[in-house]
Amino acid sequence: MMQSMRKAIITGVRNAEVVDVPVPRPKEDWALVKVLVTPMCTEYKAFVQGGRHEFLGHEAAGEVVEVAQPCGVSVGDRVVVMPQYPCAKCDLCLAGEYIYCENCYDFDRFTSSPEGKATYAQYLLKPAGLLPRIPDDLSVEEGSLACCAFGPSFGAFDRIGLNAEDTVLITGLGPVGLGAIVNARFRGARVIGAEMEPWRVERARELGAEAVLDPRDADCAAQVRALTGGLGVSAALDCSGTPAAHRLCIDAVRRRGRVVFVGECWEPTTLKVSDDMLRKGLTVVGSWHYNRSRVNAIFEVVRRMRREVELLVSHVLPMSRVQEALEISASHQCAKILLHPWE
């Protein structure tokens, strides 16, 4: 086994580098995964803001290359790497809702090293229970989309029971929002999008959005109602994490409609209890990821929507070009970007 590996870090404002660090070692029921694909997510925000960030990423796919003891995976398994380090013992974990675990491992303390938690790296460590096997008929690149490309919206649509009777508004058509279009179309729903970036507007239409509105328009909610016989959409999903988009979702959904938020947001949102929750009768849900038991259902989305999957992945780059990859990600002229750590 190699003693050192390559990983990408951010060293300052719009500056990324690839450095050498020690290869981590597995213990107990954790496995060492050789990372073959690293999907990029929101790391561009740290890239733009600056500072030093040495542990980038939270999604990956690869091959198990070492285990400390017999566990839920074996050497040679192709796996998707799920986020977080849950305890695997609490009621939430046992029910598949591990993402909400309140007893997560302290990675550095458990492994005696901080190395192995970044996905922008050639190797990583993960509990075996968070390494679902990729089906033989899917490539590793396709399997990698079972995390943030499809996961947040898949879990959200499960929560609100989205189906072919629905018209859904999706706000924020970055990689997560574009993946949401694919998930919605897989379920037979009609899709209306809200996005201001021209590149992503066009890609959303190619993926099956019937209309894509500009959320900066003051009458955007009225435009949604005009497209739905004056009623409003039956469901809305926000992927942008902005209070303005939250408000648009709430205003554009019809009475007794469902609203779900998946985009991270640390700002206050103007949810009006009487007007929105009581008199309009809305169901408002927050959703982070999907239940672990549903991973095979996501693989089925990938399997049946291969044309859309090809459109969802806009760039594939070697990790050696991480500077360029982060510049593209920060430009928003992209969908999902995949990195190959060994190139």
By C-alpha distance, which of 167, 150, 305 is closest to 232?
167
Q: Would you report the helix, strand and coil content of the chain in percent, each value rounded to 5?
A: 35, 25, 40
Return the DSSP state at 24: P
The Cα–Cα gap between 339 and 343 comes to 9
The Cα–Cα gap between 12 and 48 comes to 9
HEC states along 118-170?
Answer: CCCECEEEEEHHHCCECCCCCCHHHHHCCCCCCHHHHHHHHHHCCCCCCEEEE
DSSP 255-281: EEEEEEE-S---S-----IIIIIISS-
* Cα 59 to chain centroid, rounded: 8
By C-alpha distance, which of 260, 257, 217, 210 is closest to 240?
260
The Cα–Cα gap between 30 and 61 comes to 15
Asked whether the whole model's pTM tops 0.85, one would answer yes
In the predicted model, residues of the chain with pLDDT beneath 50 are none
Rounded to the nearest 10°, the torsion over CA 274, 159, 97, 104 is -50
For the stretch 131-159, pLDDT in tens is: 999 999 999 999 999 999 999 999 999 99
pLDDT of residue 269: 86
Rounded to the nearest 10°, the torsion over CA 57, 63, 66, 70 is 110
pLDDT of residue 341: 98
Both structure tokens of 36: 């073959």
* Cα 15 to chain centroid, rounded: 24
pLDDT of residue 1: 65
